[in-house]
Amino acid sequence: MEFKKVTVVYFSPTGNSKKYASEIAKRFDINYKELNITDYNTRRETHRFKNDELVVFSAPVYYGRLPMVNGNIFENVQGQNTPAIFTVTYGNREFEDSLLELQNICEERGFHGIAGGAFIGPHTFSKIIAPNRPNEEDYKVLNDFVDKIKQTKDLTEVLKVSGDYPYKKVEKMPFVPIASDDCTKCGFCESICPVRAISKGNYKDTNSDLCIACFACVKQCPQHARGIDEHGFKQKVNMLEENLTKVDKRPELFYL
């Protein structure tokens, strides 16, 4: 199984989703390309792929769904019956309807799924939930995953992944990150926010209507000056850590 070009198309504010998709892509072609639609402007450009290419799509899971941004994160990516691998990354809880949602969105835009996978990465809100994923076992799974895809003889079949439609109701976290007094107003948070929820000149606050709680600004702030200092949020994190550190989940994989 060979393709003229292999491209990773990822929405990955904290890098976890990109990591898994890139590992898959390089097992097909060490010279794979990347398309980072986490970037606000890049996401608004049209990107086209042909039927002799392979695209590895990747996105994080928020409350069992894909990130809810205006339009959708793959709105301007178009294929021509282009083979695709769909991947989502979640923080050791559940991926629920997200992988099916990703497949449906991409196949409506001209891509044809040949495999899918739900992988585990460090939880966005916690340093102790799945902190070292992908681990050695995950890399073995990735090797087997790609090997099995390469052995597929009929790429015209219909891929079936888990998930329900209608999708589960979209949930939104009632807290958003803001800057502390340590903020130097460098503007880096504004430059990396994938949904432009942080305004130039007002780096302290965050637009709660736009924010998707991806924590890109929190994890990449040079001064470690952004976060959520709300009691309700701390309670939520404590509950997650109590429930999600008991068992390390394994990736779930789907093939033609």
Distance from chain centroid for Cα 221:
20
Token couple for 65: 């769904």
Report the half-sphere exposure of 80 (CA within 13 A, side-chain side): 7
What does the alpha-carbon distance between residue 13 and residue 91 come to, in Å, rounded to a whole number? 14
8 Å CB contact between 208 and 176: yes
Element (H, E) at 138: helix 136-150
Q: Is the pLDDT of residue 71 over 80?
A: no
Kindly tell me the burial class for residue 158, based on how many C-beta atoms sit within 10 Å of its own C-beta (0-12, 13-18, 19 or more): exposed
Q: What is the mean pLDDT of the chain?
A: 96
**Which one-letter DSSP state was computed for residue 65?**
B
Report the amino acid identity of residue 150: K
Rg of the chain over Cα atoms, rounded to whole angstroms, equals: 18
- Which two three-digit tokens encode residue 181? 């007094």
The reported pLDDT for the residue numbered 49 is: 98
> What residues have CB less than 8 Å from 106, skipping those under 6 apart?
57, 74, 77, 79, 84, 86, 113
Predicted confidence band of residue 253 (pLDDT cuts 50, 70, 90): very high
> What are the beta bridge partners of residue 60?
89
CA-to-CA distance for 41 and 13, rounded, in angstroms?
A: 14
Task: List Cβ neighbours of 165 (8 Å cut-off, separation of 6 or more).
Answer: 97, 100, 104
Distance CA 214, CA 45 (A): 22
For the residues 96-114, what does the mean pLDDT come to? Answer: 98
Is the pLDDT reported for residue 2 higher than 90?
Answer: no
Per-residue pLDDT tens over the stretch 196-218: 999 988 898 899 999 999 999 99
Give the pLDDT confidence score for residue 252 in this predicted structure.
98
Residue 72: pLDDT band with limits 50, 70, 90? confident
Residues present in the chain in total: 256
Confidence band, pLDDT 50/70/90 cuts, at residue 121: very high
Return the SS3 of 179. strand
Q: What is the pLDDT of residues 140-185, one digit of tens each?
A: 999 999 999 999 999 999 999 999 999 999 988 899 999 999 999 9
The whole-model pTM stands at 0.96
CB of 130 closer than 8 Å to CB of 247: no
pLDDT digits (tens, 9 = 90+) for 34-64: 999 999 999 999 999 999 999 999 999 999 9
Q: How far apart are CA 96 and CA 149, in angstroms?
A: 23
The percent of residues in the chain predicted with pLDDT above 70, rounded, is: 100
Those residues whose C-beta lies under 8 Å from the C-beta of residue 249, and which sit 6 or more positions away, are 92, 120
User: In this predicted structure, what is the pLDDT of residue 28?
Assistant: 98
